[in-house]
């Protein structure tokens, strides 16, 4: 554990039940200089990602970084360049994509007989922040996490849309009018629509100002996927989702036939542990077998950041559509 002072790092380790033999570092530099360290988890504010992610890569340490990965895709490209030049793996901390439920849901979306072709995705992540959060949290500070709700909550919505669309980038992104910003100009609430060349559409909404909601709905030509806890499951060791295929009404149109089905997936590990396990497996394969870093994860991160950048650009251009250039 590293912090800006030894005492802060030691207190964090103690408060979180780390074993007594945990290594404690009084600076980030001292951790990166330790030859026994293979990989680093970077939970620093987004404004510090560029500096410390690049330094981490230059020290040949593999990198699990919190989202958003950077303040812009231009910054992330600098991070990627450092990772590629030094042969290190990078993955962002979007934990829900590592939940076994996510793989089961993807099987349904890929089933042409049950789901058909994807047409629409709607994603929503909101929570009602208290006054202390809205005043003091790093996610509302322009010098720390300048992307605010878009970077924190919107990242999940954008990722869920891209996941449903097999990570195909949309053609255009248009932010909704009347986003909410604090006095420092940091987003507290916003949303946007995404449009693909083949006519697919998607929307997301993110907010620090509304009741806790984590909804995801993907609608195909034949079926629908729906869940209401897509980021953090209601229960740690099991997660559910609902599917519907070719529903209809009864003869008198007083009820439905072909009712939705609920599916529950039991998991052995929390999704955060699944993420770390996947990351550690990639690192071990590089270290022990001489494998190359897996480009899947940084590619997905970059696409998410591209859409996030387009949302910002649409806002700056007076809520006009912005074309995605990959």
**What CATH number should be reported for the domain whose range is 96-272+305-323?**
3.30.360.10
d(CA 88, CA 59): 10
Q: Is the pLDDT of residue 244 over 90?
A: yes
Dihedral angle, C-alpha 150, 156, 160, 166, nearest 10 °: 80
The full 3-state SS of 213-266, as one line of letters, equals: EEEEEEEECCEEEEECECCCCCECCEEEEEEEECCEECCCCCCEECCCEEEEEE
Whether the Cβ atoms of residue 326 and residue 304 lie closer than 8 Å to each other: no
Tens of pLDDT, residues 155-180? 999 999 999 999 999 999 999 999 99
Which residues have a Cβ under 8 Å from the Cβ of 302 and sit 6 or more positions away?
73, 76, 77, 80
Q: Is the pLDDT of residue 325 over 90?
A: no
Q: What percent of the chain has pLDDT over 70?
A: 100
Which residues have a Cβ under 8 Å from the Cβ of 321 and sit 6 or more positions away?
172, 173, 174, 195, 314
Q: Is the pLDDT of residue 146 over 80?
A: yes
Q: What is the pLDDT of residue 149?
A: 99
Model confidence, pTM: 0.96
Tens of pLDDT, residues 298-322? 999 999 999 999 999 999 999 999 9
Distance between start and end Cα atoms, the chain: 36
β-bridge partners, 175:
192
β-bridge partners, 263:
241
Helix axes 296-316, 155-164, angle to 10 degrees: 120
Query: What are the phi and psi torsion angles at 44 (to 5°)?
Result: -70, 160
Place of tokens 């030894």: 6
């Amino acid at each position: 554990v590293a912090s800006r002072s030894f005492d802060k790092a030691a207190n964090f380790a103690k408060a979180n039940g780390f074993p007594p033999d945990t290594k404690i570092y009084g600076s980030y530099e001292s951790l990166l200089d330790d030859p026994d360290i293979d990989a680093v988890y970077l939970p620093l504010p987004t404004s510090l990602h560029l500096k410390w992610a690049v330094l981490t890569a230059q020290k040949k340490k593999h990198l699990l970084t919190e989202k958003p990965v950077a303040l812009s895709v231009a910054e992330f490209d600098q991070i990627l360049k450092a990772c590629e030049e030094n042969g290190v793996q990078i993955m962002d901390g979007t934990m829900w994509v590592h939940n076994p439920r996510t793989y089961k849901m993807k099987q349904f979306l890929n089933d042409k007989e049950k789901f058909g072709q994807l047409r629409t995705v709607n994603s929503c992540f909101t929570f009602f922040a208290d006054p202390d959060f809205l005043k003091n949290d790093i996610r509302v500070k322009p010098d720390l996490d300048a992307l605010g709700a878009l970077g924190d909550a919107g990242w999940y919505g954008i990722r869920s849309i891209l996941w449903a669309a097999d990570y195909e980038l949309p053609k255009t992104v248009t932010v909704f009018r009347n986003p909410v910003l604090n006095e420092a100009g940091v987003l507290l609430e916003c949303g946007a629509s995404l449009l693909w060349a083949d006519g697919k559409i998607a929307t997301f909404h993110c907010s620090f100002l509304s009741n806790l909601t984590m909804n995801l709905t993907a609608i195909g030509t034949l079926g629908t996927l729906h869940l209401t806890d897509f980021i953090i499951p209601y229960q740690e060791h099991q997660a559910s989702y609902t599917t519907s295929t070719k529903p209809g009404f009864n003869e008198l149109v007083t009820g439905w036939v072909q009712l939705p089905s609920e599916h529950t997936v039991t998991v052995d590990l929390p999704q955060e542990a699944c993420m770390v396990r996947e990351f550690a497996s990639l690192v071990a394969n590089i270290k022990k077998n001489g494998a190359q870093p897996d480009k899947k994860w940084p590619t997905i991160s970059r696409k998410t950041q591209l859409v996030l950048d387009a949302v910002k650009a649409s806002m700056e251009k007076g809520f006009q559509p912005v074309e995605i250039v990959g």
